């Protein structure tokens, strides 16, 4: 069992409070991603977990035991950083073996463990090479090999893929997740990249300004964002958020934008007169000949498989994504429909989800 519990965690650097009252639990064997914009505190929380940063308030427990005062070396964790920090004068084998050699593990056992890690990481053919003769992705794998041979209770990753190009990042996402599924070691992974979070996590902890905005599976976070911040942070291209007031039109609740009344979901709890934020994901906007709303095309981007549109809708910039290649150009008038059941509604004052 290697649960990680955060109980009322706070952090101050001198007089500056950067985190307050963070409480949540990571179940054993889970892959949890701490996600948030730069400066939200995710690295600080990870470093407190590792013991590299003191804890100003609250308690961190691993496998039920308080670790606040335990030295990083004795926490039974292994951390992989953004910079791989390999020893340049050592071969891949020795880089991976280093921590075992320090612990005076028997040479044949070291060989067995390094070879096993190399096999998991597809590094078997590279054990005699030096870091300078490796690609960025291979170096990152060596860094992971060093973590694997320690068989820790918990893996901690701090933006491990930031230095890789987009294609390699995609491959390594898959490989890190595959390793997790093979070893089932509890993993905490820090990133500001929502794609990494969405594709790798069992659970995402969305952070902002030293607070937790939402915890949930990738599907929960995408399908039911708890507030405007999460809705805006998750999803690419990002969600359209329009402000307005609830009215009744032909017996149905709508949010008025200029001439158009945007339909609210059938069973909404939004009250007439309530100030709302109306969220529509670009993929949920259906462009066609007929539609309840219309606007002028301001910009068209063809990505190959999809057409990304910016539509001027009564002075608001609405992004829509259509499958395939639409024959539209800047200045065209376009109709669109929004399925009201796919709309995300937030109260304008609290910015919290309603319904
Ligand atoms: P990034 O993705 O940019 O690394 P982050 O979400 O990981 O951001 P942290 O590095 O945890 O954010 O920083 C959280 C806050 O704490 C920031 O406001 C940062 O300026 C502050 N901070 C971090 N380390 C220190 C420090 N050693 N001294 C003072 N302030 C710090």
Q: State both tokens at 215.
A: 């915890």
What is the structure's pLDDT at 146? 92
| Res. 84 pLDDT band, cuts 50 70 90 | confident
pLDDT digits (tens, 9 = 90+) for 128-141: 999 999 988 899 89
Q: Check if CATH label 3.40.50.300 holds for domain 4-233.
A: yes
The CATH superfamily of 241-347 is Nucleic acid-binding proteins (2.40.50.140)
| Res. 85 pLDDT band, cuts 50 70 90 | confident
Is the Cβ–Cβ distance between 303 and 286 less than 8 Å? no
Pocket of ligand 1, beta carbon within 6 A? 13, 18, 36, 38-44, 192
- Mean local confidence (pLDDT), 100-125: 93
Q: Distance, CA 325 to ligand 1 centroid (Å)?
A: 43
Q: Distance, CA 18 to ligand 1 centroid (Å)?
A: 8
Higher-pLDDT residue of 355 and 32 is: 32
| Res. 292 pLDDT band, cuts 50 70 90 | confident
Does the pLDDT value for residue 1 go beyond 80?
no
Q: In testing the pocket of ligand 1, which one of 10, 43, 47, 194 has its CB within 8 Å of the most ligand atoms?
A: 43
Q: Identify the residue whose C-alpha is closest to ligand 1 atom 17.
A: 39
What is the structure's pLDDT at 79? 92
Does the pLDDT value for residue 19 go beyond 80?
yes
ipTM field? 0.95
pLDDT digits (tens, 9 = 90+) for 247-283: 998 888 999 888 888 999 988 999 999 999 999 999 9
Task: From 24, 28, 46, 5, select the one nearest 183 (Cα to Cα).
Answer: 28
CATH 3.40.50.300 domain locations along the chain: 4-233
Q: Taking the chain, what is the end-to-end CA distance rounded to the nearest angstrom? A: 37
Q: Distance, CA 229 to ligand 1 centroid (Å)?
A: 20
Q: Where are the beta strands (DSSP E) in 122-258?
A: 154-158, 186-191, 203-208, 211-216, 240-249, 252-257
Residue with tokens 């934008």: 257
Q: In testing the pocket of ligand 1, which one of 9, 12, 13, 37 has its CB within 8 Å of the most ligand atoms?
A: 13
Largest Cα–Cα separation, the chain: 80
- What is the value of pTM for the model shown? 0.92
CA of 53, closest atom in ligand 1: 27
Q: Identify the residue whose C-alpha is closest to ligand 1 atom 2.
A: 38
């Amino acid at each position: 069992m290697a649960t990680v519990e955060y109980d009322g965690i706070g952090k101050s650097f001198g007089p500056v409070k950067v985190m307050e009252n963070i409480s949540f639990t990571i179940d054993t064997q889970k892959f949890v991603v701490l996600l948030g914009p730069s400066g939200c505190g995710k690295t600080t929380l990870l470093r407190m977990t590792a013991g590299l940063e003191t804890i100003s308030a609250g308690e961190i427990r691993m496998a039920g035991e308080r670790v606040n005062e335990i030295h990083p070396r004795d926490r039974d964790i292994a951390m992989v950083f953004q910079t791989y920090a390999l020893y340049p004068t050592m071969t891949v084998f020795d880089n991976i073996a280093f921590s075992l050699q320090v612990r005076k593990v028997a040479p044949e056992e070291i060989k067995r463990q390094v070879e096993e890690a190399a096999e998991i990481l597809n590094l078997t053919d590279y054990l005699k090479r030096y870091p300078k003769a490796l690609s960025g992705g291979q170096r990152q794998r060596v860094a992971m090999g060093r973590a694997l041979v320690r068989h820790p209770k918990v893996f901690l990753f701090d933006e491990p893929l930031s230095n890789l190009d987009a294609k390699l990042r995609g491959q390594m996402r898959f490989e890190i997740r595959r390793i997790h599924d093979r070893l089932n070691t509890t993993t905490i992974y820090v990133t500001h990249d929502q794609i990494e979070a969405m594709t790798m996590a069992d659970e995402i902890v969305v952070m902002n300004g030293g607070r937790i905005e939402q915890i949930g599976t990738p599907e929960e976070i995408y399908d039911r964002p708890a507030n405007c911040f999460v809705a805006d942070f998750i999803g690419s291209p990002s969600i359209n958020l329009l402000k307005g007031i609830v009215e009744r039109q032909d017996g149905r609740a709508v949010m008025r934008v200029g001439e158009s009344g945007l339909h609210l979901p059938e069973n909404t709890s939004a009250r007439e007169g309530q100030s709302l934020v109306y969220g529509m994901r670009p993929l949920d906007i259906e462009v066609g000949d007929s539609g309840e709303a219309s606007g002028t095309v301001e910009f068209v981007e063809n990505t190959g498989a999809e057409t990304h549109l910016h539509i001027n809708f009564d002075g608001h910039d609405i992004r829509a994504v259509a499958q395939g290649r639409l024959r539209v150009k800047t200045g065209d008038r376009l109709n669109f429909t929004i399925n009201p059941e796919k709309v995300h509604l937030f109260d304008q004052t609290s910015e919290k989800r309603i319904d």
